[in-house]
C-alpha cells in the first residue's frame, strides 16, 4: 500500500484542502511545501492584506505576518461558504517573535509572580501576545458555536513548541516543560463512543489518527506510531510520546538518549535495520474540518 500523507487521505475522501496562514507563504518556502503536499489553495498574509485592509494595523515588521483575527475571519468565511467537504490547515504567527503591536491586554497584577519572574526578557510582549493569541482563538470558537456551523465542523488546535523565552530548571522541569496543549471541538453527532482520559500519553503523532477516527469512516491509512487518543480501548503499543528532548511512556519520562522503557525497543529495531517512521510537527497549527 502506498504511503499516504494526511492531505492525500482527506483528498481521496472528497475534501478540498486549503492552507491558510497569517504569515507569508514564502517563509522557508512554506507555500511551495504545502503545494507539494497536495494543498489545493494557499492563502497567506498577502491575500489577507488585500481582503482586509485593516489588517495592516496589526502587521509584523519585515512582512512576517498579520494578526490572528484576520486569519480566523477568513477561515470563518471559507467554512460558511463551503459547498463541499473542506479541510483547512491554518498557521498563526502572532504568539511568536517578532511580536505584533497589539493593545495591552493584561496587567502585571493578574500574573502570578512565579510566572512573571520566569520571563526575564521581553516580558510584556511575550505575555501580551500570548493573551492576544488565546483571545482571538476563543473569539473564533465562540462565533462557530453560535453559528449554523456548530454541528458540522470539527476543530483541532495545537502548537509546535512551548512559549519561548520562559526560563526553566532543566533538572526538575525538563520532562514536561516542552509540552503543548491539544484542543478538540467535536459536535455530539461526531463523538460516537469516545473516551476522554486526561492521563493518556501522546504527542503530535497522534493528532491525525484521532482526526481520522472522528471524521472519516472505513478509511485505510498508514500511521507513524500514532493512535486515536479518544478510542474506547487504549492501544498500549502506541502509548508513548516524544519531542526533541524527552520520551514519555507508561514507564516514565527520560531523555531520548537513554535506553529505558519502550524507546529501547525502538532502538533495537533500528539496529536490526527495521523501518521506523517518526513524524515531527513543524508548525503551530489549527485544523478546521467541515463535513456534509
176-210 residue pLDDT tens: 788 889 999 999 999 988 999 988 999 999 999 99
Least reliable range by pLDDT among 113-127, 186-200, 244-258: 244-258
Which residues, at least 6 apart from 197, have a Cβ–Cβ distance to it below 8 Å? 234
**CA-to-CA distance for 222 and 275, rounded, in angstroms?**
13
The pTM for the full model equals 0.87
Least reliable range by pLDDT among 77-81, 169-173, 214-218: 169-173
When pLDDT is averaged across residues 244-255 and rounded to a whole number, the result is: 84
Rg (C-alpha) for the chain, rounded Å, is 20
SS3 at position 90: strand
Give per-residue burial for 251-271: e unless 16+ CB within 10 Å, then b. Answer: eeebeeeeeebbbeebeeeee
> Using the 8-state DSSP alphabet, how is residue 99 labeled?
P
SS3 at position 123: helix
Instruction: Convert the pLDDT of each residue in 2-58 to its tens digit.
Output: 657 889 999 999 999 999 999 999 989 999 999 999 999 999 999 999 999 988 877
CA nearest to 159, candidates 194, 126, 183, 135: 183
Higher-pLDDT residue of 21 and 289 is 21
CA nearest to 253, candidates 177, 167, 180: 177
SS3 at position 235: coil
When pLDDT is averaged across residues 216-233 and rounded to a whole number, the result is: 85
**CA-to-CA distance for 48 and 269, rounded, in angstroms?**
47
Distance in Å from the first CA to the final CA of the chain: 28
Amino acid at each position: 500500500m502506498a504511503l499516504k500523507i494526511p492531505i492525500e487521505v482527506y483528498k481521496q475522501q472528497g475534501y478540498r484542502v486549503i492552507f491558510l496562514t497569517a504569515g507569508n507563504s514564502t517563509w522557508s518556502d512554506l507555500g511551495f511545501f504545502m503545494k507539494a503536499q497536495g494543498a489545493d489553495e494557499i492563502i497567506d498574509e498577502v491575500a489577507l492584506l488585500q481582503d482586509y485592509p485593516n489588517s495592516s494595523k496589526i502587521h509584523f515588521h519585515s512582512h512576517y505576518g498579520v494578526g490572528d483575527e484576520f486569519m480566523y475571519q477568513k477561515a470563518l468565511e471559507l467554512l460558511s461558504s463551503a459547498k463541499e467537504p473542506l479541510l483547512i490547515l491554518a498557521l498563526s504567527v502572532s504568539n511568536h517573535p517578532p511580536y505584533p503591536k497589539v493593545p495591552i491586554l493584561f496587567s502585571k497584577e493578574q500574573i502570578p509572580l512565579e510566572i512573571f519572574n520566569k520571563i526575564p526578557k521581553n516580558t510584556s510582549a511575550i505575555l501580551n501576545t500570548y493573551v492576544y493569541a488565546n483571545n482571538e482563538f476563543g473569539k473564533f470558537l465562540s462565533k462557530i458555536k453560535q453559528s449554523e456551523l456548530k454541528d458540522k465542523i470539527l476543530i483541532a488546535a495545537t502548537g509546535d513548541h512551548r512559549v519561548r523565552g520562559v526560563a526553566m530548571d532543566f533538572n526538575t522541569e525538563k520532562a514536561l516543560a516542552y509540552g503543548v496543549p491539544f484542543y478538540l471541538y467535536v459536535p455530539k453527532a461526531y463523538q460516537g463512543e469516545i473516551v476522554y482520559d486526561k492521563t493518556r500519553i501522546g504527542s503530535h503523532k497522534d493528532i491525525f489518527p484521532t482526526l481520522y477516527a472522528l471524521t472519516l469512516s472505513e478509511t485505510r491509512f498508514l500511521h507513524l506510531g500514532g493512535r486515536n487518543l479518544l478510542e474506547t480501548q487504549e492501544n498500549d503499543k502506541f502509548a508513548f510520546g516524544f519531542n526533541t528532548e524527552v520520551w514519555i511512556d507508561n514507564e516514565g519520562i527520560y531523555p531520548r538518549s537513554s535506553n529505558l522503557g519502550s524507546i529501547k525497543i525502538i532502538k533495537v529495531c533500528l539496529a536490526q535495520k527495521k523501518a521506523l517512521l517518526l513524524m515531527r510537527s513543524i508548525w503551530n497549527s489549527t485544523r478546521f474540518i467541515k463535513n456534509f
